[in-house]
């Protein structure tokens, strides 16, 4: 298993006992992430059916770290952040990619693999960031700001990517915006991430004119520094680890800021008594299971879009995909969006 990025080294056929042994340490996340023996008895046959179907159909399952632990540890072939999953999609030799995450990630996989079948089992596939701006709105902004390089976060629709110059993810946004050879940047759609980039560049003595649109992640925007200060009064040796979609005061009060996989790597590489992760609680439950000796404190906030993926949905999609499960991107949009995504790969490989 690589740090931060999990590859399939797990069982493909589970008994109730082996599934319970795998999942029983998860305690964060309320009832949806609690695995009793009874629940494992219901889930094990579905997991086994999915792993069988996967082999029959030469399919690969890519999963974001925020989806349910039964998906991550039962059926996923690769688990990672959005950059790693985009890379996996690019390199995949499978005929079918099942993307258990949100729509913009599945669309990115389709853009990178126009000849492959990309399936999306999620029932509720939005994202508050991706839904905050359209391609048409970006085109209007471009007409108003012709001198700016348009940079989009990967949490955007294919249409938005098709209207931008460079795509970034949370793992490379600071580096790419710094390296773009233009001092005028228009960043969409995450207002909080844009402010964090501006602050980061200022701290490094770099001045760029960075404009931004007004989207936010509805999960990350709810955090504030008061939560950090309060927990620090309750626990000694508390390492605070945040995602760059969080507000500025959270970032300023954090010990480390990074993408979900970078956050995992930081936790694994450090030896602190306790950790407070300011991101969707799938990350804490994943770490709790993979590193049971480490302690995680704080509250659990779930992304309803990510958590709308389920084992039953994956099984049904693999068995007989419905038209709404199949990801399609119009050819012209896909071509332009591919240029934008490839521009990212040209910066970070």
105 or 185: whose CB is closer to ligand SF4? 105
Q: Under 8 Å CB-to-CB from 234, ≥6 apart: which residues?
A: 297
Cα–Cα distance measured from residue 67 to residue 63, given in angstroms and rounded to the nearest whole number:
7
Q: Minimum Å distance from CB 159 to ligand SF4?
A: 17
Q: Which does 159 bind (CB under 5 to 8 A by kind): ligand 13P, ligand SF4, none?
A: none
Q: Could you say whether residue 260 binds ligand 13P (CB under 6 A)?
A: yes
Q: Which does 260 bind (CB under 5 to 8 A by kind): ligand SF4, ligand 13P, none?
A: ligand 13P
78-80/6-7 β-pairing? antiparallel
Q: Minimum Å distance from CB 77 to ligand 13P?
A: 17
Q: Which of 14-22, 27-35, 75-83, 117-125 is the region at the interface with ligand 13P (rule: CB under 6 A)? A: 75-83
Token readout for 174 is 């600071």
Q: Which of 100, 122, 132, 169 binds ligand 13P (CB under 6 A)?
A: 169
Q: Minimum Å distance from CB 96 to ligand 13P?
A: 23
Give the single-character DSSP code of 255.
S
Cα–Cα distance measured from residue 209 to residue 198, given in angstroms and rounded to the nearest whole number:
9
Cα–Cα distance measured from residue 108 to residue 164, given in angstroms and rounded to the nearest whole number:
14
Q: Which does 169 bind (CB under 5 to 8 A by kind): ligand 13P, ligand SF4, none?
A: ligand 13P
Q: Which of 79-87, 197-205, 309-317, 325-333 is the region at the interface with ligand 13P (rule: CB under 6 A)? A: 79-87
Residues in the chain: 349
Q: Which does 128 bind (CB under 5 to 8 A by kind): ligand 13P, ligand SF4, none?
A: ligand SF4
Q: Which of 155, 163, 284, 317 binds ligand 13P (CB under 6 A)?
A: 155
Decide if 212 contacts 190 (C-beta within 8 A).
Answer: yes
Q: Minimum Å distance from CB 348 to ligand SF4?
A: 20
Q: Which does 311 bind (CB under 5 to 8 A by kind): ligand SF4, ligand 13P, none?
A: none
DSSP string, 285-346: HHHHHH-TTSEE-S-----TTGGG--HHHHHHHHHS--GGGB----HHHHHHHHHHHHHHHH
Cα–Cα distance measured from residue 248 to residue 259, given in angstroms and rounded to the nearest whole number:
16
Residues that bind ligand SF4 (CB under 6 A): 102, 127-129, 155, 217-219, 245, 280, 303, 305-306
Cα–Cα distance measured from residue 212 to residue 196, given in angstroms and rounded to the nearest whole number:
12
Classify residue 200 by burial, with Cβ atoms within 10 Å: 0-12, 13-18, 19+.
middle
Q: Which does 158 bind (CB under 5 to 8 A by kind): ligand SF4, ligand 13P, none?
A: none
Q: Which does 305 bind (CB under 5 to 8 A by kind): ligand SF4, ligand 13P, none?
A: ligand SF4
43 or 72: whose CB is closer to ligand SF4? 72
């Amino acid at each position: 298993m690589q740090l931060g990025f999990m590859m399939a080294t797990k069982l493909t056929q589970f008994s109730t006992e082996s599934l319970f042994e795998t999942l029983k340490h998860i305690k964060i996340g309320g009832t949806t992430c609690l695995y009793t023996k009874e629940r494992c008895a219901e889930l094990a046959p579905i997991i086994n059916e999915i792993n069988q179907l996967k082999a029959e159909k030469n399919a690969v399952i890519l999963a974001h770290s925020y989806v349910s632990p039964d998906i991550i540890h039962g059926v996923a072939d690769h688990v990672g952040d959005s950059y790693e999953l985009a890379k996996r999609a690019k390199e995949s030799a499978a005929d079918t990619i099942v993307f258990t995450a949100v729509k913009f990630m599945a669309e990115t996989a389709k853009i990178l693999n126009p000849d492959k079948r990309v399936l999306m089992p999620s029932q509720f596939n939005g994202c508050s960031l991706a839904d905050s701006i359209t391609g048409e709105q970006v085109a209007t902004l471009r007409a108003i700001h012709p001198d700016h390089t348009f940079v989009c976060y990967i949490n955007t629709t294919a249409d938005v990517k098709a209207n931008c110059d460079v795509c970034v993810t949370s793992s490379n946004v600071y580096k790419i915006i710094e390296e773009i050879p233009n001092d005028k940047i228009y960043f969409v759609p995450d207002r909080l991430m844009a402010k964090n980039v501006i602050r980061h560049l200022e701290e490094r003595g770099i001045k760029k004119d960075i404009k931004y649109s007004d989207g936010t992640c509805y999960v990350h925007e709810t955090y504030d520094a008061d939560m950090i200060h309060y927990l620090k009064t309750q626990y000694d040796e508390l390492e605070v680890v945040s995602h760059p979609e969080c507000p500025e005061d959270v970032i300023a009060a954090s010990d480390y800021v990074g993408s979900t996989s970078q956050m995992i790597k930081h936790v694994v590489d450090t030896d602190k008594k306790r950790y407070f992760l300011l991101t969707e609680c799938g990350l804490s439950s994943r770490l709790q299971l993979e590193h049971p000796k480490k302690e995680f404190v704080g509250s659990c906030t779930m992304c309803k879009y990510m958590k709308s993926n389920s084992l039953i949905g994956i099984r049904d999609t693999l068995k007989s995909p419905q038209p709404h499960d199949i990801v399609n991107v119009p050819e012209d949009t896909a071509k332009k969006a591919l240029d934008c995504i490839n521009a990212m790969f040209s910066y970070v490989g």
